[in-house]
A and B are shown apart, each in its own frame.
Chain A
Amino acid sequence: MAKVLVIAEQRDGKLKKSTFELLGASFQAGQAGNETHALLLGDGVADLAKELGNYGAQKVYLVQNAALKYYTAEAYSRVILELIKTLKPDVILASHSPTGRDFMPKIAASLNVGLASDCTKLAFEGGKLKLRRPVYAGKATVEVEFLGSGPELATVRPNALGVPKADPSKSAEVLSINIDLSGLKTKVLEVVKGASARPDVTEASVVVSGGRSLKNAENFKILEELADVLGGAVGASRAAVDAGYRPHRDQVGQTGKVVSPQLYIACGISGAIQHLAGMRTSKIIVAINTDPEAPIYQVADYGIASDLFTIVPLLKEEFKKIKEH
């Protein structure tokens, strides 16, 4: 059994799915006696505590402060380090999100302990973490062993564990705590929202990606329309990004984002080794490529060796029918 602290993540008053994945992993191990604690930071976020309980948190530590309205590594670390002085958790978990991956190393250095980043498998064994993570962008995976003493720290890749079912009958004890956050050095001046309403490629459960065969930026519109029907994100190969069709933040691969959605639809992507590295852990991979010998078919579960400009619009219409039912 282990005492687990999950650092909850919220943006714009909404908890992230990835937080529920972490709570679920700890709670499921709870049958073996895990204690699941969650830390919720922000400004005006008290309402979210209940939801953390529904997903398995037994205790929620609520820290509200104007200095926590926007995330900074400095403020978050100060709160986390203060809390764990008294809580003394065996395990601290956060998502490998732009937030979690940013502050967890600071916590690790402050505690002089190891951090296992971007884990894709997580289990508990005798109160200890059992973890596996990809290296070389997924060309191999490794088991992580912690050396030395102190709490075990890990960040987990969003979508890797799966979101558990919420149980409205479960609730958490909520404890509000005050922590002095004066004298911070870094300051968030503003947060500028993205122009797109689509989810991030690393968080979406469906990703529709395009390669150089799309021929220009304009043609990505058909992928966007397909993604929108599925509530998904649009990704791109390095070739498409280098050609200027999409911004780098959409790039999937070893020099871009590593994704593992439920469904990955690769359109006109040949499947360079560095692209495959970024998406091969997707649950189901669909390839649409006129070249039946393209390497993408080595990882695809289903393939259509036809012209994407014919197939993609038809797919959109066919998925629409399902979504409307």
Chain B
Amino acid sequence: MLTSADLDTLLLTFKVASIATALMLLLGTPLAWWLARTHSAWKGIINAVVAMPLVLPPTVLGFYLLVLMGPAGPVGQFTNWLGLGTLPFTFPGVVIASVLYSMPFVVQPLQAAFTTIGEQPLEAAATLRASPLDTFFSVVLPLAKPGFLTATILGFAHTVGEFGVVLMVGGNIPDKTRVVSVQIYNHVEAMEYGQAHWLAGCLLAFSFTVLLVLYTVLKTQPVTHQLK
């Protein structure tokens, strides 16, 4: 059976994943939009940087974050200067690490969706008096909905399953940074296979439910938009 410590890790995991997904959508949307439309020479570089976590082993990325966010690292010195202390071993630290690590899973589907929309609907909107910002909300967002759906699901799922980075940056502190993937790993390492099975089963069931809801609810929503 699940212990209360196991339940705590489940709860914490979904808290991390929800907040991280919201942040990724917030930051990833303008980034993906820029990447989809720019002809800047920076495009290739930024694309590569965003995709880095796909290539880097999570523990390596985690180690670099540990260095960057630590008291000697530039980010750590900045957060110290702000009076926030350093980020490793804290809940915000884990969220930030998750955001960086799962970002390509949010940015890439969005970028693809924006690219698919193309220039034409934007030009049509401009000739119908819609400013660029207006166009983004009234035309781009509804047209890119499948992309947002994919981005949300992938971002969330990947954060839930994410392990190596959190292990590195989190320090395995109950209720603060001990997420479910770390807990399962610990159970397996400690040869507590029964508990590992239970927790993994719960994780599977919960994730499946969340994804199912996202897919069905968001997909079946009618596309008609009533304008007055």
A binds B: no
Binding site for B on A (CB under 8 A): none
